[in-house]
Amino acid sequence: MRQKPEVLAREIVAKDPDKYFYPDQYSNPSNPKAHYLGTGVEILDALGDRITHFVTGIGTTGTMMGTTRRLKEHTRPIRCIAVEPSEALHGLEGLKHMESSLVPAIYDPGLPDEIMPVGTEEGWDMADRLAREEGLHVGHSAGAHVYAALKVAERLHREQQGGCVVTIVPDRGDRYFAPMKWERRYTW
């Protein structure tokens, strides 16, 4: 039986840790730390006290964990919402349905204020809408992030509350919509 590449990679690193490094974004504390020191600070520098809500997806969970930790230190309360696929079998590449997934070691389920499920169709449709209406060629997970952020904004509007909702657009559409090298057809 053939060994999985990630298992083989871990074995190679374990045998010679001075020669090899396995970054393991799912359990490496540097993943959320980069967002704590970078993304969270950048959001606060740009928006300061105006931000009321932060919405982002959970995949490795680094963006949610690090950015949320930093935003929670701000003087104004900021509601942080994690976006996940609504179903275990989904088509939102890069996002994890936590109930049915291996949970990353860096994930703290108590950190998000809310978990917002988004369906595959909503993510795909929003990616198409962003391309058509805004000229933004983004992927499905970005579509899911924007879809969720708009739902939060709609909720605030319905409740007649003001707010400033921030999300992250984490991927480009060319990874999903353009033919890949191995998909090209040649005419002879």
Report which residue type is found at 18. D
| pLDDT band with cut points at 50, 70 and 90 for residue 10 | confident
**φ, ψ for residue 34, nearest 5 deg:** -60, -35
46: in domain: yes
10: in domain: no
Which residues, 6+ apart, have CB-to-CB distance to 92 below 8 Å? Answer: 57, 85, 118, 120, 123, 140, 141, 144
The three-point CA angle 155-160-161 to 5° equals 80
Split into its structural domains, the chain has a count of: 1
First to last CA, the chain: 39
12: in domain: no
pTM of the model: 0.86
- Residue 180 pLDDT: 54
| pLDDT band with cut points at 50, 70 and 90 for residue 187 | low
150: in domain: yes
144: in domain: yes
97: in domain: yes
59: in domain: yes
Domain that holds residue 54: 26-176
Report which residue type is found at 173. G
Which CATH number covers residue 97? Answer: 3.40.50.1100
| pLDDT band with cut points at 50, 70 and 90 for residue 34 | very high
3-state secondary structure of 82: strand
Which residues, 6+ apart, have CB-to-CB distance to 137 below 8 Å? Answer: 131, 172, 173, 174, 177
Please, are residues 85 and 120 in contact by the beta-carbon 8 Å criterion?
yes
Locus of tokens 């006290």: 49
Give the long-range contacts of residues 86-91, CB within 8 A, separation 24 or more: 86/117, 86/118, 86/119, 86/120, 87/119, 87/120, 90/119, 90/120, 91/120, 91/123, 91/124, 91/140
Q: What is the pLDDT of residues 70-103, one digit of tens each?
A: 999 999 999 999 999 999 999 998 999 999 998 9
Which spans in 48-158 are helix H? 62-72, 120-129, 140-158
Structure tokens at 76: 């104004």
88: in domain: yes
